[in-house]
Amino acid sequence: MQSSAFLRIGSRGSNLALVQARLVQRLLSEAHGLPLDAIEIRTITTSGDRLTDAPLSTAGGKGLFSKEIEAALEAGEVDIGVHSSKDMATRLPDGLVLAAFLEREDIRDAFVSLSVKTLDELPQGARLGTSSLRRASQILRARPDLEIVPFRGNVDTRLRKLTDGVADATLLAVAGLNRLGRASDITDYLDPERFLPAPAQGAIGLEIRADDSRSFELIAPLNHQQTATAVHGERALLDALDGSCRTAIGVVSHIAEKTLMLRGEILSPDGRISIEARHAGPAAAPEAVGHELGQILRDKAGSDFLKLFPG
């Protein structure tokens, strides 16, 4: 039966994804003077939700969290896909675009432990749970004595694994914990200038069909331009480096007046090699700034560096 909804949102079914989808639903209802139930949220199970144990780097990468939502967009079953932007594939399917971004949340990673207060307080040889290659590489650079153990699953699952003793600590995005009202679970905040966040971390992205002018106009009031500028630059860096879940890439953005400054790094899986560079350019052309920084990092790393990564 054809839906009579004014607008249809596609979202994953995790607690965090639904919190994000409901935020978009509320903002759209306020922007257009609509009752909440005029904007439908359709829950879509993605491949990433079904693969709860295998590391993303071996299971197919970030697109696992979006491809079923994107298929629903392409089929006209939903009008908007709501995503955690850092989970999006570097290149979107033809005909789809990330057309708006909500104002960015905290970009930092949270250190969470039931036994110690900081990363530095973890005892020699302690186990840190993460399935993020970036986080693992950065932690091993700072603490090469630690053992990295695989840690997939949603926020509740990962926190439960700590309680069950699977690891002594883990890292989670501060933004997600804040949105879930679980900031009290954070033991410490990692310095984003020391532990560069994932590209687009903390930003909710709205994906639509490129030719859908109606949806574009409806979501336009929700777009936060500084966030959009930063995320487009960071995703362009990923693209220039062929970035995926198989590559340890961190980046932090700063926008001052009309200039975008990106600081990026790539790390070997064991954290022993890290290559960093900075690049600035017009905020009006963030993709160019990101691509240029990616090329700078490639040149500094040399042709053999990315061969260190699996996949």
Report the CATH number at residue 123. 3.40.190.10
- Judgement on whether residues 145 and 163 belong to the same structural domain of the protein: yes
Model confidence band, residue 163 (pLDDT cutoffs 50, 70, 90): very high
> Does residue 246 sit in the same domain as residue 209?
no
pLDDT score recorded for residue 278: 98
The enclosing domain of 297 has a CATH number of 3.30.160.40
Identify whether 21 is part of a domain.
yes
Whole-number pLDDT of residue 197: 98
Domain that holds residue 180: 109-189
- 82 and 163 in a single domain? The answer is no
- Among residues 144, 167, 189, which one ends one of the domains? 189
User: Do 89 and 145 belong to one domain?
Assistant: no
Together in a domain, 32 and 92: yes
pLDDT surpassing 60 at residue 1: no
Q: Are residues 7 and 92 in the same domain?
A: yes
Q: What is the pTM of this model?
A: 0.91
**pLDDT value of position 305:** 73
Residues 237 and 216 in one domain: no
The answer to the question of residue 126 being in a domain is yes
Classify residue 128: in a domain, yes or no.
yes
**Is 162 within the bounds of a domain?**
yes
Give the Å distances, CA to CA, from 176 to 108, 114, 173: 10, 19, 6
Q: Phi and psi at residue 188, in whole multiples of 5°?
A: -160, 160
**Which pair of tokens denotes residue 59?**
């299971």
How far apart (Å, rounded) are the C-alpha atoms in residues 26 and 47?
A: 27
Active site residue 212: no
- Is 196 domain-assigned? no
Q: 194 lies in a domain? A: no
CA-closest candidate to residue 59, choices 241, 250, 311: 311
> Beta strand pairing status for 204-209 and 127-129?
unpaired
Catalytic residue, from 87, 106, 109, 212: name it.
87
**Average pLDDT over the chain, rounded to an integer:** 91
Choice among 57-66, 84-93, 121-130, 255-264 with the minimum mean pLDDT: 57-66
Question: Are 85 and 137 members of one domain?
Answer: no
Residues 58 and 129 occupy one common structural domain: no
* pLDDT of 57 over the 80 cut: no
Give yes or no: residues 142 and 178 share one domain.
Answer: yes
Verify that 281 and 298 share a domain, yes or no: yes
Q: What is the pLDDT of residues 261-307, one digit of tens each?
A: 999 999 999 999 999 999 999 999 999 999 999 999 999 988 777 66
Give the gyration radius of the chain's Cα atoms: 19
| Residue 301 CA from chain centroid, whole number | 24
Is 209 part of any domain? Answer: yes
Residue 257 lies in a domain: yes
Total count of domains within the chain: 3
Do both 11 and 133 map to the same domain? no
pLDDT at residue 49 in the model: 59
